[in-house]
Amino acid sequence: MARRPFDPKQARGGDPASGGQFDLFGGGPDSPPEATSPAEAPPPLDDGPPRRDREPPPISVSQLGELIGSALSALPARLRVIGEVGRVSVNRHLYFNLKDESAEIACVMWASSLRGQSPPREGDQVELRGQVVHFAGRGRTQLQVYSINPIGLGALEARLRAMKEKLRGLGYFEESRKRPLPAHPKAIAIVTGRGSAALADCLRTARDRMPSVKIVVVPVKVQGEGAAEEVARAITALDAAGERLGLDAICVTRGGGSLEDLWAFNEQIVADAVFHCRTPVVAAIGHEIDTLVVELVADLRASTPTQAMMRLLPDRETLRGAVAKDARRLQITLKSRLSEERSRLKAIARHPFLRRPGERIAETRERLSILLRDLKRSLLVRLERDRGDDGHRRQRIERAIRSRLPDREDHRAMATRLARGVRGRLEVARVSLAGSGGRLRSIGPAAVLARGYAILRDGSGRIVRAIADAEAGDEVSIAVRDGTIAARVESRRGGDPLEPPRA
């Protein structure tokens, strides 16, 4: 189908001479003129390649820019546009993108308009007032914003905040569970995009700071469909193989971008992988103004890939300086200690014993001989004195024993008194025993039976003490003074046992 030639007059709103108000972008206050006859109607569009005689003449890039600017000038000078803010950059002037589900447009707000207003944050839902302009020199079409009215959160920002609240409630962001980074790692894994600038920054920083550290690079998708799954799978696999690879830490990183570009690092599958990872994880996603879920879960957040490697790797120059400083301190300590020991050795060497050891040994041997002679003399004196003391003690013991031994007459008198006392005590005991036996016999069963009483026993030999202990027809035995009577119980009668039975 052949295109109709572009008419700048119609792009500007029609031919002024004809008074038409046709608008290329939807019309102005009047409707486009209707064709009243086939002669007045525009030529029909036909299929097939365009004919050479119907093509417009070639124009320059500048002319094309002027045509685009002329076409955009037909838009209203003041537009109200609603959308979500993305990719905010403030450098005196405010640059950002405004987007919805299917489109995006670059926006600029000059410093003169920005004065007195707070810049929007990425993810905010706003209403803008501005004008679409085209900068022909740069070939850029932007919405030039005069004012910004916040409406609320954008869809992605709302999802992000909901995810953060959920994971905060599960304890994913607790500082107490985060582990310290190794002071001197031997191997580090980097999870990032293949050939990315973030990877180049990490490798350059590692080469400059500590080239001896082993770097394991795991390239993954860092945005788009399936990126979150790849990142989570890489973290889990590295953690599982960490001991085999000798890994001390994992760095998850990528460069900056919009919230949509970085969204893979806000997914829960990535947060779960970092949360369950036993190897310390450092996250450096986007720029310093971005704070993503994976950075909050990680053991350490770095603002850039370079800073992540600086936090992970010690600087070899700094280590060299520290080693040199320690070496100097050790050298000074050793010199001081050697000087002290030399002085001590010289003082010992000046001691008389070491200067004339033979004389000191002879003096000591003589002193020992004197002490030994004095000791022998003291022992002999002590033995003689102890022998004399033993004789005196023996005499005193013998006198004491003799003074305490009684005479034989005393022994006889004491024996007589003892025999007389024993006989008297035996007689008294015999009389008392006889009295006790008489009293016992007087209250014993035999005396009771002799007074006319009897003892009634049942068939098992137990004494019948009450009428309840025997039943009519039971065989009983009756013990009397001179024997036993066998009987049978005919009947029982309660009442006073001393009352004589009735006829």
Q: 3-state DSSP call for residue 126?
A: strand
In a domain, 134, yes or no: yes
Q: What is the chain's length? A: 503
Distance CA 40, CA 66 (A): 30
In a domain, 208, yes or no: yes
Residue 481 pLDDT level (bands cut at 50, 70, 90): confident
Q: Are 248 and 279 in contact (CB under 8 A)?
A: yes
Same domain, 112 and 220: no
Q: Which residue has the tokens 């489109």?
A: 103
Would you state the structure tokens that stand for residue 289, as one six-digit string?
């103004």
DSSP assignments along 440-501, one per residue: HHHHSHHHHHHTT--EEE-TTS-B--SGGG--TT-EEEEEETTEEEEEE------S-TTSPP
Of 39-43, 328-332, 461-465, 494-498, the range with the highest mean pLDDT is 328-332
Same domain, 91 and 62: no
In the predicted structure, residue 288 carries a pLDDT above the cut 70 = no
Over residues 248-280, the pLDDT tens digits come to 999 999 987 777 788 889 899 999 999 999 999
In a domain, 160, yes or no: no
User: Which positions ≥6 away from 451 have C-beta within 8 Å?
Assistant: none
In a domain, 425, yes or no: no
Query: CATH number, domain at 132?
Result: 2.40.50.140
Quick one: average pLDDT of 373-382? 88
CA–chain centroid gap for 164, Å, is 20
Same domain, 183 and 234: yes
In a domain, 365, yes or no: no
Over residues 310-328, the pLDDT tens digits come to 999 988 888 888 888 999 9
Same domain, 295 and 180: yes
Same domain, 24 and 40: yes
Same domain, 184 and 142: no
State the pLDDT at residue 227: 92
Would you state the structure tokens that stand for residue 402, as one six-digit string?
């003799």
Q: Are 455 and 478 in contact (CB under 8 A)?
A: yes
C-alpha distances in Å from residue 39, one per residue of 36, 43, 190: 8, 9, 72
Kindly report which listed range (169-178, 193-202, 452-461) carries the lowest average pLDDT score. 452-461
In a domain, 99, yes or no: yes
Same domain, 206 and 89: no
Query: CATH number, domain at 242?
Result: 3.40.50.10550
Domain count along the chain: 5
In the predicted structure, residue 132 carries a pLDDT above the cut 80 = yes
- The DSSP H or E segment spanning 329 is helix 316-349
Which residue range(s) make up the domain with 344? 316-352
Q: What share of the chain is helix, strand, coil (3-state, %, to 5)?
A: 45, 20, 35
Distance CA 360, CA 351 (A): 11
In the predicted structure, residue 49 carries a pLDDT above the cut 60 = no
In a domain, 137, yes or no: yes
Same domain, 69 and 140: no
Q: Which residue has the tokens 């019948």?
A: 464
In the predicted structure, residue 304 carries a pLDDT above the cut 80 = yes
Quick one: average pLDDT of 58-72? 82
Would you state the structure tokens that stand for residue 68, as one six-digit string?
């685009």
Distance CA 389, CA 49 (A): 154
Structural domain ending residue among the three candidates 153, 187, 216: 153
Quick one: average pLDDT of 41-51? 45
Q: Are 172 and 164 in contact (CB under 8 A)?
A: no
Quick one: average pLDDT of 293-320? 90
In a domain, 71, yes or no: yes
Same domain, 51 and 134: no
Same domain, 322 and 309: no
Mean pLDDT, the chain, whole residue set: 81
> By C-alpha distance, which of 1, 175, 141, 124 is closest to 67?
141
Same domain, 132 and 43: no
Q: Counting beta carbons within 10 angstroms of the beta carbon of residue 111, is it exposed (0 to 12), middle (13 to 18) or buried (19 or more)?
A: exposed
Same domain, 71 and 83: no
Strands (E), 70-180: 79-91, 93-99, 104-109, 124-135, 140-153
Over residues 114-125, the pLDDT tens digits come to 887 778 888 788
> By C-alpha distance, which of 262, 200, 185 is closest to 231?
262
- 236 or 468, higher pLDDT: 236
